[in-house]
A = this chain, B = another copy of it.
């Protein structure tokens, strides 16, 4: 493992401190329990609090700021944060209209946020994101995983909260977006959890892991490495099969890097994805390409499609000012 690290045990804190210093106009950092809040505390609005294991940067702390999150709770690498963090964060940012938690659907995250929600002295609700359509036949009781679609949920829910919408309205928008968003990822290499010091899985030069999770969880299938178009084709098919969008539907297309994939390749993927989706009769009305929901240092990418409507478009386009997403401000 070759990483920029001093002591693996301090890696998270050192990185958070760097993040907070580099963005001291946007965020404040609290340690023990660890959470980050928006620099200028919002007034009289539903506050949006998210969190999850570290290693997915810029998710979530990179999305703190006007128009998106009020607070984020980083866990250890790939490990859900703990209820004390969530409670402290919610208390720090609460602005009299309740707390909306945005939680990626993993047993650990769900249970930790659940316990925080139970203990929290404020009105609260939760949007669970579960956009990963990698697992085809999802009869599994834990349901689908939340992956890069979470960014779209956080952006839009953050936007509607700024308008003064109440808790249920914010949650409803989040749930709606999640329901019409599908993602799938592919890994060319494994990630390496710093504490483990070795790759999570073995994969040869001629293999890919189709349907990879953002923690390096094995995916749908180990497949043979092939040209980009063939990989993207399989991914788009999975998304279309899942969303079954009507012709002429407007969509948002997000091509997300998993950490170690050059932008040049992400745009190449976008090029093919755009072509295929257009052939499916869809209109790419909005797009995003870059590293937004990563898996530490994995070489790989995910494709996310969100079916748009006027409400979602409005909240996607509205101003946002965070370290990781910024426009209109």
- List chain A positions with a Cβ less than 8 A from chain B: 2-7, 11-12, 14-19, 21-23, 54-55, 57-58, 62, 77, 188-189, 205, 208, 225, 227-229, 231, 255, 259-272, 274, 284, 287-289, 291, 294, 296-297, 299, 301, 326-329
Contacts A259-B260, A260-B261, A260-B262 aside, 13 further interface pairs with beta carbons under 8 A come to: A4-B266, A5-B228, A14-B271, A15-B265, A15-B271, A18-B267, A21-B284, A54-B264, A55-B264, A57-B264, A260-B299, A261-B297, A264-B296
Determine which of B57, B268, B329 lies in contact with A262 in the assembled complex, contact meaning CB atoms within 8 Å.
Answer: B57
What copy number does this chain have within its complex?
2
Cα-based distance from A265 to B18 in the complex (angstroms): 9
State how many angstroms separate the Cβ of A136 from the closest Cβ of chain B.
23
For the complex, give the distance between the alpha carbons of A234 and B10 in Å.
Answer: 21
Q: Give Cα A14–Cα B268 distance, bound, in whole angstroms.
A: 5
Q: How far is the CA of A284 from the CA of B18 in the complex (A)?
A: 12
Which single residue of chain B is at the shortest CB-CB distance from A231? B4
Instruction: Choose from B4, B255, B289 the contact partner of A265 (Cβ within 8 Å).
Output: B4
Check B11–A268 contact: CB distance below 8 A: yes
In the complex, what's the smallest C-beta–C-beta distance from A12 to chain B, in angstroms?
8
Where chain A touches its partner, the secondary structure class is: mixed
A271 with B17: CB separation less than 8 A = yes
Instruction: Compute how far the CA of A218 lies from the CA of B326 in the bound complex, rounded to whole angstroms.
Output: 36
Q: How far is the CA of A267 from the CA of B294 in the complex (A)?
A: 15
Residue in B228, B231, B327 whose beta carbon sits within 8 Å of that of A326 in the complex = B327
With A14-B268, A264-B55 known as contacts, the answer to whether A299 contacts B297 (CB < 8 A) is yes
A48 vs chain B, min Cβ distance (A): 21
Shortest CB–CB separation between residue A276 and chain B, in angstroms? 12
Instruction: Please give the distance in Å from A286's CB to the nearest CB on chain B.
Output: 10
How distant is the Cα of A287 from the Cα of B260 in the complex, in angstroms? Answer: 23
Report whether B15 and A267 are in contact in the complex, using a CB–CB cutoff of 8 Å: yes
Closest to A263 in B: B57
Top-10 shortest CB links A-B: A18-B271, A260-B260, A18-B267, A57-B263, A18-B270, A4-B265, A2-B188, A4-B228, A15-B268, A19-B267
A-B contact list, 27 entries, CB within 8 Å: A2-B205, A3-B228, A4-B188, A4-B231, A4-B266, A5-B268, A6-B268, A14-B272, A15-B268, A15-B271, A16-B267, A18-B267, A18-B272, A18-B274, A19-B270, A19-B289, A21-B271, A22-B255, A22-B289, A57-B262, A57-B267, A62-B263, A259-B262, A260-B262, A262-B297, A326-B326, A329-B329
